[in-house]
Amino acid sequence: MATGRTHRPATRSRGIPEATVARLPLYLRALTALSERSVPTVSSEELAAAAGVNSAKLRKDFSYLGSYGTRGVGYDVEYLVYQISRELGLTQDWPVVIVGIGNLGAALANYGGFASRGFRVAALIDADPAMAGKPVAGIAVQHTDELEHIIESNGVSIGVIATPAGAAQQVCERLVAAGVTSILNFAPTVLTVPDGVDVRKVDLSIELQILAFHEQRKAGEEVGPDGGGPAAAARAAVADDRKGPDGDMPAVMPA
């Protein structure tokens, strides 16, 4: 197989919108599940529901791939798996290095989904000398002093940063200087990179905070301003509206 350093995904040259690119892995996951169940074809409605999008958006996304399905039959599952995998660059080998082998880095190293999706963990790297040589997921951890040599010798273009926030930018700069052009960042910080380098950030704390926001909103809907729930809140609003011009105005105007 070719390495990631000599081949790039076709999505940019084909002019596929970034929003569509972001949804392709969702379609691929749903299609892979169908393929594993030996399902030969799938309708746009069924696939859209499995991927969590609407069918019109799915059909529009697939039109960028040149795939329109067959009326009355739907989409060929195996062909779509191949087509999306090709567009995402998953039909070739992508060597990846993981920098920062703490709890999170070790968990990523042990993740079994990399190989089946076209990614090969080429090296595990950590700044702690005590970690050097220790096996994690069957791979011996190497010291950061070897980072540049590791990237060059393995033809790495994708780096994963799982270090503490304070070390992430320096690690990022070394990765980029050594030739890495795509970075998946798990460190809780924003990285500064030059043009031509892609960064995807995964911040679990931010995702949890967003969920907390939605939970708070749901709790607010369940219990109205007077503690009586949404119905009581609605009744109070109607009562306020019925007051004459000299009546008391609510302390906070309704939105």
Express each pLDDT in 156-204 by its tens digit.
Answer: 999 999 999 999 999 999 999 999 999 999 999 999 999 999 999 998 8
Q: How high is the pLDDT of residue 234?
A: 44
Q: How confident is the model at residue 60 (pLDDT cuts 50, 70, 90)?
A: very high
Q: How high is the pLDDT of residue 115?
A: 76
**Rounded average pLDDT over 234-255:** 42
Residue 59 has pLDDT above 80, yes or no: yes
Residue 93 has pLDDT above 90, yes or no: no
Residue 6 has pLDDT above 50, yes or no: no
Strand partners, 98: 124, 160
Q: Do residues 196 and 177 touch, judged by C-beta distance below 8 A?
A: no
Q: Do residues 40 and 77 touch, judged by C-beta distance below 8 A?
A: yes
**Rounded average pLDDT over 90-97:** 89
